[in-house]
Structure 1
Amino acid sequence: MKLVRSLKFVGKALLCAGALRLALAFVTAAPGTAAQAAAQLEERKLPMRFSWVACEPNCRGWISAVGIVTSDTPKDFDEFARGRQLSGAAVVLDSSGGSVNDAIAVGRRWRKLGLRTTVGSTIQVPTASGPQAAIAPQAYCESMCVFLLLAGSVRYVPEGAHVRVHQIWMGDRADDARAASYTAQDMMIVERDIGRLAKFTFDMGGTGDLLSLALNVPPWENLHELSRQELVLTNLITTEAVAELLPPLDTAPAAVAALKSKPLQERVASEVPLAPAMLLPVAAKQAPTKTADASLPTGGQAAAAAPQR
Structure 2
Amino acid sequence: MLFRSTVEADLDRLLHCTVDEPISWAGPDRLRSFLADGHYRHERVWIAEQDGEILARAVWWGFPGDRPLALDCLYVHPSVEDRVALAAELLRHAHDAFGDAPAYHVFVPAGWRDLPTVVAAVGWRWEAGRRAGLTDELERLRYAWTPDVPVPEPSGRLTFRAEPDDEAFVEVFRRVAEGSLDHHTRQALVTKDAEAQAREDLADYLSMPGDRSWWRLAHTPDGDLAGFAMPSANNAGPVVGYLGVLPEQRGHGYVDDLLGEITRCHAELGAQRIAADTDATNLPMARAFERAGYRVFAVRLVLSADPT
Bin for the TM-score computed over the shorter chain: under 0.3
Q: State the TM-score, normalizing by the size of structure 2.
A: 0.27
Q: State the TM-score, normalizing by the size of structure 1.
A: 0.26
The answer to which structure has the higher strand fraction is 2
**RCO higher in 1 or 2 (8 Å CA, sep ≥ 6)?**
1
Q: Which has the larger radius of gyration?
A: 2
